[in-house]
């Protein structure tokens, strides 16, 4: 088991924090990690506190336990300007990041920093330390989860909306009910099915009865008070077996008092719901698979206290809420009955005798119906293509990012590139793998040209270093060369995807480290890459099968996805950003530039790449004009 501590709202009192950690360790043994939510840094100016923080960041004072924190609207940006490997900002102190998923001390941890802000600015998204998050960030994380995704811990600052549903009113402190709740936290909890979720409870503590997740195991949700506000609850301690190591029978154990998910109200058997008006007290069984307790930091008692719910009430009419819930379930049952009878919504019941067949009878023949259906599908595909980010026919495509356009494909700079030279090679036609032979050939031609370009950067750097060293009479010349990390994938998506090839220039001496890190990170997701024949394309290796492929240093690794299997699409980018010392660029939304800057960098890359393009592609210098021509071609297709 992995023993952890969790604290909230430290607000810069790091010395007191670690002194109390040592006190807990003296009584209960070592812990692997300390997670901190809420304000980890001070909320206001205080010279003494500032000096204390700098002493920990410099190593003058020691953080006695690996500490992992998330962002909050505090003064964190004033204390660090760069992030090291794994988010390190000081000895044993790590910033988890804006939003994402990491393995920490063997535990699968999902996190989101800051508080929700609807209209987050580009400047806020580009900040190293996130005090707010946007809908784009949490939607991006949720999209990486599938129906079988689980994690050990979810840490957030905000209370999930609806989490108080289906519990006894006596257990909820009035102060919690005045706090804003978050749809994002609810969505993350539903998407990742954590076994534990922690949120900031201001000055009071609350532990909800366990509830069922979509994966069948239970989630324990806790609100933690600000550090020091309630010494009995300064730390929450838990001993967890990582979910990846648990037996199914152990994982699916349900403690007494477990409720259905508070986030899903439809299709619930009313007999299984704990009615807040009539239920008795909820007790937790001692034989739970994971053990969690609070350590009392007051001066009396043994130091370990069991938790008792505080008296409180839910504002508004309980009867009205219960009536609304009953109506929702009644409507659900009615709709199911109507579907079984062939009616229901839009005439699409399970035994419906109308639907498409009924429409088909309006036409004189099956051939006429098939022709109309084909025309409708073609129009639907055209509408989908026009909404695709990568289709040049889409009037909303950002053509100032287009570097070069060929006959079958084009090169573009992605939004929020990791480094200069980071590009996508995209088929002009809205197609997925396997690519047609002529499209594949042109993509490989572009890829070879970009490989030469990256290599030339290394030669240029070497020549400049030689000149500088000759002037300074030095001889220790470091040969810096660049090679492409190539990422290519076909994923299990509902709609036909517009596939592409991604190239990121990286120092050649980082090649082995990057490949090893991607393989290691994938194993944490139960994904095992295999070494592939680098002389063959992924079209030859996989055909119509979904896959993820990365190539670097002349070697190729591939993972074939099973049907409906999801893949963490940002895996490669996250690893590269971390190894290159740019962890803040792991999420492209956090490092976007304005149109003027993007246009300037695209024009520069276009001029340089033109020197390396073969004759059949070198006529694509005026990318914007050619893009317009391609748009016309697509409209005619």
| CATH (domain of 229) | 3.60.21
Q: Per the domain annotation, does 358 fall within a domain?
A: no
If asked whether residues 590 and 484 sit together in one domain, one would say yes
Helix (H/G/I), strand (E/B), else coil: 37? strand
The arithmetic mean of pLDDT across residues 474-488, rounded, is 72
If asked whether residues 139 and 282 sit together in one domain, one would say yes
**Interhelix angle 511-524/571-579, nearest 10 degrees:** 130
If asked whether residues 458 and 588 sit together in one domain, one would say yes
If asked whether residues 198 and 101 sit together in one domain, one would say yes
Give the domain-ending residue among 280, 314, 348: 314
Please count the residues of the chain. 637
If asked whether residues 406 and 554 sit together in one domain, one would say yes
Q: For residue 111, give the H/E element and its range.
A: strand 107-112
pLDDT value at position 299?
45
Helix (H/G/I), strand (E/B), else coil: 174? helix
- Computed over every residue of the chain, the mean pLDDT equals 78
Which range has the top average pLDDT, 13-22, 327-336, 584-593?
13-22
Which range has the top average pLDDT, 50-59, 303-312, 532-541?
50-59
Lowest-confidence range among 256-270, 390-404, 464-478, 497-511? 464-478
Q: CB under 8 Å to 497, separation ≥6 — which residues?
A: 432, 490, 491
What is the rounded CA–CA span in Å between residue 304 and residue 273?
32
**pLDDT-derived band of residue 170, with 50, 70 and 90 as boundaries?**
confident
Helix (H/G/I), strand (E/B), else coil: 216? coil
Q: CB under 8 Å to 453, separation ≥6 — which residues?
A: 421, 608, 609, 611, 612
Position 80 pLDDT exceeds 60: yes
**pLDDT-derived band of residue 332, with 50, 70 and 90 as boundaries?**
very low
If asked whether residues 404 and 296 sit together in one domain, one would say no
Position 240 pLDDT exceeds 90: yes
pLDDT value at position 494?
61
Q: What is the pTM of this model?
A: 0.50
Position 516 pLDDT exceeds 80: yes
If asked whether residues 413 and 278 sit together in one domain, one would say no
If asked whether residues 479 and 625 sit together in one domain, one would say yes
Q: How many CA atoms lie within 13 A of 377 on its CB side?
A: 8
Q: Per the domain annotation, does 340 fall within a domain?
A: no
Phi-psi region of 87 (alpha: psi -120 to 50; beta: other; left: phi over 0): left
Position 525 pLDDT exceeds 90: no
Position 328 pLDDT exceeds 60: no
Greater confidence (143 vs 295) lies with: 143
Position 130 pLDDT exceeds 90: no
Q: Can you state the percent helix, strand and coil of the chain, rounding each to 5?
A: 40, 20, 45
Greater confidence (381 vs 111) lies with: 111
Single out the residue of 586, 589, 440, 467 nearest to residue 120, CA to CA: 589
Greater confidence (582 vs 338) lies with: 582
Q: Per the domain annotation, does 463 fall within a domain?
A: yes
Which letter does DSSP use for residue 259 in this model? Answer: B
∠ Cα 546 515 84 (to 5°): 120
Q: Per the domain annotation, does 400 fall within a domain?
A: yes
Q: Per the domain annotation, does 52 fall within a domain?
A: yes
The arithmetic mean of pLDDT across residues 472-498, rounded, is 72
pLDDT value at position 336?
38
Give the domain-ending residue among 314, 342, 359: 314
If asked whether residues 244 and 135 sit together in one domain, one would say yes
Contact predicate 133/124, CB 8 Å: no
What is the rounded CA–CA span in Å between residue 627 and residue 620?
10
What is the rounded CA–CA span in Å between residue 74 and residue 72?
5
Q: Per the domain annotation, does 111 fall within a domain?
A: yes
Helix (H/G/I), strand (E/B), else coil: 253? coil
- Name residue 504's beta-bridge partners: 485
Which range has the top average pLDDT, 75-89, 327-341, 350-364, 439-453?
439-453
Which range has the top average pLDDT, 88-92, 128-132, 577-581, 593-597?
88-92
If asked whether residues 75 and 161 sit together in one domain, one would say yes
Q: Per the domain annotation, does 373 fall within a domain?
A: no
Which range has the top average pLDDT, 352-361, 393-402, 498-507?
498-507
pLDDT value at position 300?
41
The arithmetic mean of pLDDT across residues 100-121, rounded, is 88
Task: Tell me the CA distances in angstroms from 222 to 154, 193, 200, 543, 560, one per residue in order.
Answer: 11, 15, 8, 47, 39
What is the rounded CA–CA span in Å between residue 375 and residue 373?
5
Q: Per the domain annotation, does 353 fall within a domain?
A: no
If asked whether residues 32 and 163 sit together in one domain, one would say yes
Assign 3-class secondary structure to 277-335.
Answer: CCCCCCCCCCCCCCEEEEECCCCCCCCEECCCCCCCCCCCCHHHHHHHHHHHHHHHHHH
Greater confidence (457 vs 513) lies with: 513
- Name residue 6's beta-bridge partners: 35, 236
Give the domain-ending residue among 314, 347, 374: 314
Q: How far apart are the first and last CA of the chain?
A: 60
The arithmetic mean of pLDDT across residues 175-194, rounded, is 90
Which range has the top average pLDDT, 276-280, 466-470, 526-530?
526-530
**pLDDT-derived band of residue 588, with 50, 70 and 90 as boundaries?**
confident
Computed on alpha carbons and rounded to an integer, the radius of gyration of the chain in Å comes to 28
Contact predicate 140/185, CB 8 Å: no
Over the stretch 417-465, which tens digit does the pLDDT of each residue have? Answer: 999 999 999 999 988 888 999 999 999 999 999 999 999 986 555 455 4
Question: Structurally, how many domains does the chain consist of?
Answer: 2
Which letter does DSSP use for residue 79 in this model? Answer: T
Q: 93-102 burial, b for 16+ CB within 10 Å, e for fewer?
A: bbbbbbbbbb
| Residue 555 belongs to domain spanning | 388-636
Over the stretch 253-304, which tens digit does the pLDDT of each residue have? Answer: 999 999 999 986 433 333 333 322 222 333 333 334 455 666 545 444 433 3
């Amino acid at each position: 088991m992995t023993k952890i501590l969790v604290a909230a709202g430290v607000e810069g009192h790091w010395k007191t924090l670690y002194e109390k950690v040592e006190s807990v360790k003296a009584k209960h043994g070592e812990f692997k990690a300390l997670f901190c939510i809420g304000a980890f840094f001070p909320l206001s100016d205080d010279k003494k506190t500032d000096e204390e923080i700098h002493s920990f960041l410099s190593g003058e004072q020691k953080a006695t336990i690996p500490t992992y924190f998330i962002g909050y609207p505090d003064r964190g940006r004033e204390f660090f300007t760069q992030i090291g490997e794994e988010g390190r900002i000081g000895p044993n102190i790590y910033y988890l990041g804006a939003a994402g998923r990491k393995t920490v001390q063997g535990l699968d941890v999902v996190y989101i920093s800051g508080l929700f802000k609807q209209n987050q600015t580009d400047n806020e998204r580009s900040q190293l330390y996130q005090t707010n998050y946007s809908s784009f960030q949490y939607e991006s994380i949720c999209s990486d989860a599938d129906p079988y995704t689980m994690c050990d811990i979810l840490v957030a600052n905000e209370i999930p909306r609806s989490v108080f549903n289906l519990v006894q009113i006596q257990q909820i402190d009035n102060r919690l009910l005045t706090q804003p709740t978050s749809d994002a936290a609810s969505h993350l909890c539903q998407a990742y099915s954590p076994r534990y979720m922690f949120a900031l409870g201001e000055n009071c503590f609350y532990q909800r009865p366990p509830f069922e997740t979509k994966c069948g195991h239970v989630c324990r949700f806790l609100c933690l008070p600000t550090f020091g506000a309630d010494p009995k609850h300064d730390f929450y301690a838990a001993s967890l077996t990582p979910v990846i190591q648990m037996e199914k029978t152990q994982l699916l154990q349900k403690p007494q008092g477990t409720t259905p998910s508070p986030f899903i109200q439809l299709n619930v058997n009313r007999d299984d719901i704990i009615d807040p008006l009539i239920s008795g007290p909820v007790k937790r069984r001692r034989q739970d698979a994971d053990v969690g307790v609070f350590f009392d930091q007051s001066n009396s008692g043994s130091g370990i206290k069991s938790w008792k719910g505080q008296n409180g009430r839910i504002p508004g009419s309980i009867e009205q809420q219960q009536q609304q819930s009953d109506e929702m379930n009644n409507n659900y049952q009615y709709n199911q009955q109507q579907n079984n009878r062939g009616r229901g919504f839009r005439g699409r019941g399970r035994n419906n005798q109308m639907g498409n067949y009924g429409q088909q009878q309006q036409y004189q023949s099956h051939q006429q119906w098939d022709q109309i259906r084909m025309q409708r599908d073609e129009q639907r595909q055209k509408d989908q293509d026009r909404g695709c980010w990568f289709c040049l026919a889409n009037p909303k495509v950002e053509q100032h990012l287009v570097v070069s356009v060929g006959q079958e494909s084009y090169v573009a700079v992605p939004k929020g590139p990791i480094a200069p030279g980071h590009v996508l090679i995209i088929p002009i036609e809205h197609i997925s793998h396997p690519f047609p032979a002529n499209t594949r050939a042109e993509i490989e031609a572009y890829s070879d040209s970009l490989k030469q370009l990256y290599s030339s950067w290394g030669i240029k750097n070497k020549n400049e270093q030689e000149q500088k060293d000759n002037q300074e009479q030095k001889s220790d010349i470091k040969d810096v060369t660049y090679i492409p990390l190539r990422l290519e994938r076909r994923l299990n998506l509902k709609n036909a995807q517009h596939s592409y090839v991604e190239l990121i220039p990286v120092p050649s001496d980082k090649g082995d480290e990057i490949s090893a890190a991607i393989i290691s990170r994938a194993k944490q997701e139960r994904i095992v890459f295999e070494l592939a024949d680098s002389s063959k394309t992924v079209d030859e290796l996989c055909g119509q099968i979904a896959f993820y492929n990365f190539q670097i240093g002349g070697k190729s690794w591939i993972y074939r996805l099973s049907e409906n299997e999801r893949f963490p699409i940002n895996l490669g980018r996250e690893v590269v950003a971390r190894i290159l010392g740019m962890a803040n660029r792991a999420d492209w939304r956090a490092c976007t530039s304005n149109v003027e800057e993007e246009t300037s960098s695209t024009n520069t890359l276009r001029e340089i790449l033109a020197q390396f393009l073969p004759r059949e592609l070198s006529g694509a210098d005026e990318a914007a004009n050619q893009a317009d021509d391609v748009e016309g071609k697509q409209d005619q297709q």
